[in-house]
Structure 1
Amino acid sequence: MRTRSGSSYSHLAAGPSSTVSRKKRKLTSADCNYFDVLHDDVVLSILVKVSSTAECPADFLSALATCKRFNGLGLDPLVLSNASKETFAVTAKKWSPSANCFLQRSSRAGNIEASYTLGMIQFYCFQNWGQGASLMARAAVKAHAPALYSLAIIQFNGSGGTKNKKDLIGGVTLCARAAVLGHIDAVRELGHCLKDGYGITKNTVAGQRFLIEANIRELTANNHKKFDGVNLTRLPLLVDVGYEMPVQVSHPANRFLTGWFANRVPDPAYNICSYEGCGRPETRTHEFRRCSVCGVRTYCSRGCQARDWTMGHFKSCTPFMRFAGRR
């Protein structure tokens, strides 16, 4: 008969020391942190994916708060340069020196969305016109359509300077570059410039063609099935028929401007663009143009005026309603 010290109990016969060593091996395997074994390049690729697909700042900031390693590698220039525009969608209520520092760091890393957003904030909110325009120009050089269009508006209005500082030719040039990149408001603005001969040789036919193209792009972007199979080039302009378009999501920079000036007592001498998706304020009195129909609402550009009209201004524009009633 075999005893407990026999071969049938070899794991016990080896003595207590083997049991202790086995327990140590189990503890070592359980406590192993495989995340620490990952190479930094792998972690960076993960963070780049997170930052580039973030739909709000919290998506990215939550990743940075996960651990010390994520917090350190998350501020790497490679990660910041690929961050999406919604990563920088800070609200006006949460603006702070740390948010400003984050935008500056991302801009230095080469992120054009950060450069544009910070440029808009500096130009319109803090009246740092030189620094703001420089940041927007940094994005415009890299073919950022909203930055090109914003700089065009600044040139058209002479924003940050006197009325004599307007540069109509420069505005048309910037607007044309943004239009080539597919910016709908730039296409519409360029069409009005051609129709009116504003900063460019007057060409009514070409201007009308650009306005129709802007309508086609806008309808396509909103995926209106009711226009399937219809020759959109033969449709009248949306601003002519009073077609009501759905509200579109504005750029984070415009949303910041809207929130910033909504939380402050407005200066009665300076108007804010009446299109709710814009948020740009005047930098001097009587800088923006008024609605030629009602004379109540003011706009920084004809693009914003046309968009606000199709968003519902045609319902409250009193002279237009009287004219419609007579018919």
Structure 2
Amino acid sequence: MRTRGGNSYPLVGTQVTNRRKRVKLPSVLCNFFDTLPDDVVLSILVKLASTADCPADFAAALSTCKRFNGLGLNSFVLSQASVETFAVKAVKWSPSANRFLQRCSDAGNVEACYTLGMIQFYVFQNRRTGAALMAKAAIRSHATALYSLAIIQFNGSGGTKNVKDLIGGFTLCARAASLGHIDALRELGHCLKDGYGIGKNEAEGQRFLLEANARDLASICSTPSPGLIPGRRLNLPPIMTGSPSIGELGFILPPPISHPANRFLSDLFANHTPDPAFRMCSYGGCGRPETRMHEFRRCSVCGVMNYCSRGCQARDWTMGHNKNCRPMVRFPIINAGGR
């Protein structure tokens, strides 16, 4: 196309050196991604891994290019990965998922240590390895790992009934409670009220139960859409009237978000347990199976539900068991030799 002066507009992708000669420019002058330093790419991957909502978010980034795949498996990136990054569902568990979780654990990721420890302890029944991984996370003040180790000590999981360590369980529970773990606070309160693993102190135990209820309420009210709905006061069985939780005071609570390790156990053992003779914790957000017969405690009112801890019992009570719990029917024992 010519202008009024007789000149022509230059074509796209060409450079006019003079009026008679055109030089074609290269289509790609520079690959700016290759010029980025590794530190910048690592910081991008750390941000992605720490904020991922599911494993697919991080896996999609690793499959983008060879550089992302290589730097994405850096130990610094894996150590900062969020718990949802390796929250693999039970139906999608594979050796590659196990290797990735092990690699995150070796990089020092405390959430990966706890998740892999729970899977090793309850699924693969590698008690020593699983407890060691949870202890690795507990040393770095992982409250959930401390509470899980306390449950293992209280129940004697993985061993006989005589291997229970009540003092050790109480110590671990107290450490988790000091870090703000609500179920650990509730378990600690019941231990003090009952004198279980520690000297009996009802006043101090009641204080811990009230603090657990206050923290429970604060965690719910801090959400963008609180799930507290005023309702009718519930008729409670006598066992719960001493220390009512928030759900028993006439509020409907939203279900708490379970840890991915507990969700994995719940999905895996939803239809069956490792041994039919063993029972599962009746609280849906726990997923722990028994490691020996009659390890878990039963609900003293209905005698149907089984719980690995008082924390799971309190959670399941507020999630709906308070409406379905009915006193068990006790049949009198008739002496066959009497009249």
TM-score of the superposition, structure 1-length normalised?
Answer: 0.87
Tell me the amino acid that sits aligned with residue 130 of structure 1. R
| Structure 1 residues 310 and 225: CA distance shift in structure 2, 3 A | closer
Question: How many angstroms apart in 2 are the aligned matches of 1:67 and 1:262?
Answer: 38
Question: How many angstroms apart in 2 are the aligned matches of 1:260 and 1:214?
Answer: 30
What is the match of residue 162 of structure 1?
160
Contact 2:138 2:146 in 1 (8 A): yes
Question: How many angstroms apart in 2 are the aligned matches of 1:264 and 1:218?
Answer: 32
| Structure 1 residues 47 and 164: CA distance shift in structure 2, 3 A | same
1:299 has 2:307 as partner: yes
- Give the C-alpha shift of residue 266 in structure 1: 5.9
1:284 has 2:296 as partner: no
What is the match of residue 107 of structure 2?
109
Q: Bigger shift: 264-273 or 131-140?
A: 264-273
What is the match of residue 151 of structure 1?
149
Contact 2:227 2:252 in 1 (8 A): no
What is the match of residue 332 of structure 2?
none
| Structure 1 residues 138 and 74: CA distance shift in structure 2, 3 A | same
Question: How many angstroms apart in 2 are the aligned matches of 1:242 and 1:297?
Answer: 23
Question: How many angstroms apart in 2 are the aligned matches of 1:266 and 1:76?
Answer: 36
Tell me the amino acid that sits aligned with residue 43 of structure 1. V
Q: Deviations over 1:78-112 (max 9, x none)?
A: 10000011112100001111011001110110000
Question: How many angstroms apart in 1 are the aligned matches of 2:273 and 2:188?
Answer: 34
1:274 has 2:282 as partner: yes
Show the 5 A alignment for 1:173-212: 173-212=171-210
Contact 2:228 2:251 in 1 (8 A): no
- Give the C-alpha shift of residue 249 in structure 1: 1.0
Contact 1:239 1:306 in 2 (8 A): no
Question: How many angstroms apart in 2 are the aligned matches of 1:163 and 1:265?
Answer: 20
| Structure 1 residues 103 and 146: CA distance shift in structure 2, 3 A | same
Task: Look up the SS of the partner of 2:207 in the other structure.
Answer: helix
Tell me the amino acid that sits aligned with residue 93 of structure 1. V
Q: Deviations over 1:243-293 (max 9, x none)?
A: 442111100000000011125466331000000000000000000000011
Structure 1 alignment gaps of length 5 or more: 1-8, 228-234, 321-327
What is the match of residue 82 of structure 2?
84
Which of 228, 232, 254 is equivalent to 2:262? 254
- Give the C-alpha shift of residue 238 in structure 1: 3.3
Tell me the amino acid that sits aligned with residue 275 of structure 2. D
TM-score of the superposition, structure 2-length normalised?
Answer: 0.84
What is the match of residue 4 of structure 1?
none
Aligned identity (percent) is 69
Show the 5 A alignment for 1:1-327: 11=16, 16=21, 19-20=22-23, 23=24, 25-29=25-29, 32-223=30-221, 224=226, 236-238=244-246, 241=249, 243-264=251-272, 267-319=275-327
Task: Look up the SS of the partner of 1:198 in the other structure.
Answer: coil
Task: Look up the SS of the partner of 1:27 in the other structure.
Answer: coil
Structure 2 alignment gaps of length 5 or more: 1-9, 11-15, 230-242, 329-339
Q: Deviations over 1:134-170 (max 9, x none)?
A: 0000000000000000000000000000001100000
Q: CA RMSD in A?
A: 2.4
Tell me the amino acid that sits aligned with residue 164 of structure 2. K
Question: How many angstroms apart in 2 are the aligned matches of 1:313 and 1:262?
Answer: 18
* Count of equivalent residues: 301
Greater per-residue helix proportion = 1
Contact 1:244 1:312 in 2 (8 A): no
Task: Look up the SS of the partner of 2:289 in the other structure.
Answer: coil
